[in-house]
A = this chain, B = another copy of it.
Amino acid sequence: MLKGNALIAQSGGPTAVINSSVCGAIQTWLANEDRPGTIYAAVSGIKGFFEEDLIDLAEQPAENIAGLRWTPGAGLFSCRYKVSEDEYARLVEICKKYDIRYFFYNGGNDSMDTCHKMSLAAEKMGYEMRVIGIPKTVDNDLPITDHCPGYASAAKYLAATVMETGIDLSSVSTKNKVCIIEAMGRNAGWLTAAAALAKRTPDEAPHLIYLPEVPFDTEKFLADVQAVYDRLGHCFVVASEGIVDADGNYIAADGKTDAFGHVQLSGAGETLKNLVEERLGLKARCNTLGTAQRSAAHFASKTDADEAYATGKKAVELAWEGKTGLMVTLDRQPGEEYVCTLGEAPLSAVANVEKKVPVEWINAEGNYVTDEFIAYARPLIEGEVEVPMKNGLPDYVKIDMTKGRVQK
């Protein structure tokens, strides 16, 4: 086995189970008495790595590592930072300095691109290193893998919230006749679509679902809402934050962009609410769950949390087998029963590819999803994580950043 240390880091927006992946990787690494070195965390992702802000995880209390399995947020801290092409050589130099031969990066699309370029840079510089990506994103938009760790927990929380607020809406004859929930997932409608899991009978919420995969038509939307309202006396809408019009313009763009040049979104739900009130004269309410969707670990999917853990474990195992330039994948096996095994995909095939909801899983009217989507998503939200409770609230842990702090 290649001698040397490991580095693990997190990137981008957290999920309810991102730390479960990190827990799987760290526990697997430390449980091996023949491990080739120690395992460092880069504090605050790749940005922290540039600053050589490292902690030795072998010096972390075991209960802190164990608690990552049910703790939301980025336990090692995360960042959004686009590494420029000429910075990769510097990253490899830092690896050399700390004898880092194993590089585990836990993130989404942009992170897999970073990971891929890191792998190429090391190769080009003749520095032997194993680079493995550990997928995570509530957006569920990484290719090749059947689904992404983090997605199902966000889906479960969103579906439960749609079910609960849907019951609330239908059970009170108030002025609020239309309820809109805005769901996360920039250009991919996976999370928004998961709201459909809440519907048990035809008249229950949600009634209308709008994904970014289908151009949003304001007049059609208003007609859809009016039709549901005429039938039921109320209407429950779930719309993606990333819905776009026929010209590809975001319905809710506020003119700003992030570090990766992505357009920043705010207020698709509020925009629809205003449309309903002004054009249909119906009082509407918009629930913007925001970051609660990606951090509601109190209601995480056990299937998701366990798979997240397994992907972290697998990353370490692949690296020890001598593999590199890969992302761990979740491979669903054919058949009625849900069986998912672990696999691998080349980072080159993953980097910057966005997997969207197939159009055949969206109904012809473009305002709901088909049973194929339900069959895909349903097994992923099964089971609940048992989060230890303290004083009536989840007992989440915190990594002690003073322990094992590396001197530059």
Contacts and interface: CB of A to CB of B under 8 A. Distances in A.
A149 interface: no
- Count identical subunits in the complex: 2
Given A163-B394, A378-B392, A73 B170 contact: yes
Interface stretch (A224-232, A311-319, A324-332, A382-390): A382-390
Max chain B C-beta neighbours (<10 A), residue from A75, A287, A393: A393
Contacts of A256: 283
A34 to B, nearest CB: 33
Interface in A49-71: 71
A289 interface: yes
Max chain B C-beta neighbours (<10 A), residue from A13, A79, A179, A291: A291
Interface stretch (A90-98, A111-119, A294-302, A350-358): A294-302
A74 B165 contact: no
A101 B301 CA distance: 48
A107 to B, nearest CB: 11
A77 B173 contact: yes
A77 B172 contact: yes
A305 interface: no
Interface string A375-408: 0001001111000010111101000000000000
A381 B392 CA distance: 5
Contacts of A47: 173
Interface string A167-209: 1111111110001000000000000000001100000000000
Interface stretch (A154-162, A215-223, A361-369): A154-162
Given A167-B71, A173-B78, A258-B175, A290 B299 contact: no
A264 to B, nearest CB: 8
B72 A168 contact: yes
Contact of A291 (B169, B270, B299): B169
Interface in A273-293: 283, 285-292
Interface of A: 12-14, 44, 47, 71-75, 77-80, 156, 159-161, 163-165, 167-175, 179, 197-198, 256, 258-259, 264, 270, 283, 285-292, 294-299, 301, 378, 381-384, 389, 391-394, 396
